[in-house]
Amino acid sequence: MLQCHLIIDSCCDLPPSLVDLEGVTLLRFPYILDGEVCEDDMFRTQSAHDFYEAMRNGAEPSTSQLSMPVLKETFEAAIASGVPTVYLSFTSGLSGSFDVAMLIRDQVLAEHPEAELYVVDTMLPSIAEGILVYEAIRQRDKGLTAKELACWAEEAHYFVNEQFMVDDLKALQRGGRIPATVAVAGSALDVKPLLSVDVEGRLAISGMARGRKKGVKQLAEFYAKNRAELGLRRYALIGHSDCPKDVERLKDALLKVDADLMFIECNIGPVIGSHVGPGMIALSFWGGDKRENMSVADRIARKVKRGDM
């Protein structure tokens, strides 16, 4: 019998084959396309190409956070199973779903004070969240308890390194993920923006590339600079929104850096895809501690926010 049940959400953008597992519940984020509310099923019922081709042809899908009834039903079912549970949530830096999940968790635990239900803010989106989820499943299967797994995830997310290139910033600007001035500047300069995720789980511009080939090269350079030492966890997630040729270019570039590196290839799902648009390519791997780049002021602000001071 499993010691820990996992709840994950579709924003991790992992292939369905890696999440359709015993003891893993998937929460499907909603999105709206052509006036119809859909659930992100990780492209089980439509192809990634068709979704992104619709965006190329003018479709502008939008998204919303997980609803309170869905979260309550999921948490209550987990408690009813009698198995201690951990929910690894999409970053609070880009969605209000984590805050809603915490509210529902408190309500449910007030009714079932003996239950074990942990909600962890991964501070990560898309395949960066995905690599944490993938490793969490492995850690769970090695025998970690729910409490141990929650503690592991709270620390491990700082060591997830990620960078991604988007074709342009229009979709991110439309969704309010970056300022309009940044989007306009990127378009005017005719460059391919490179973005990463800060320790608060928010998007940050981390570079620019003159063309997609140079952008792919910079992703490989980012891996070479930030990969974990000692050969630990030598696998990387590569996600893309309908640009398979760039995936092959990136694999070739990464293998020149690390000939033994293994890959997990992911389609960027419709929820994340609604905000990044077609043509995004993303890289995620285990690397250095993101906190090392924080200023003293940022460290203090973070401690205050978390209630540690």
Question: Alpha helices of the chain — where are they, by DSSP H?
Answer: 16-19, 48-56, 68-81, 97-111, 126-141, 146-156, 170-174, 180-189, 212-226, 244-257, 270-276, 296-306
Q: Are residues 209 and 137 in the same domain?
A: no
Q: What pLDDT, on the 0 to 100 scale, is given for residue 296? A: 40
For the CA atoms of the chain, what is the radius of gyration? Answer: 19
- Whether residue 262 is contained in a domain is answered as yes
- Whether residue 301 is contained in a domain is answered as no
pTM of the model: 0.90
- Do 27 and 69 touch, CB atoms closer than 8 A? no
Q: Are residues 27 and 151 in the same domain?
A: yes
- Whether residue 198 is contained in a domain is answered as yes
Q: Are residues 96 and 174 in the same domain?
A: no
Q: How many residues does this entry show for the chain?
A: 309
The last residue of a domain, from among 157, 192, 221: 157
Tens of pLDDT along the chain (309 residues) come to 678 999 999 999 999 999 999 999 999 999 999 999 999 999 999 999 999 999 999 999 999 999 999 999 999 999 999 999 999 999 999 999 999 999 999 999 999 999 999 999 999 999 999 999 999 999 999 999 999 999 999 999 999 999 999 987 776 666 554 555 445 545 545 688 899 999 999 988 888 898 899 999 999 999 999 998 755 568 999 999 999 999 999 999 999 999 999 999 999 999 999 999 999 999 999 999 999 876 443 544 455 455 554
Say how far apart CA 167 and CA 195 lie, in whole Å: 11
Residues spanned by the domain of 12: 5-157
Say how far apart CA 249 and CA 2 lie, in whole Å: 40
CA angle 214, 267, 257 (to 5 degrees): 40
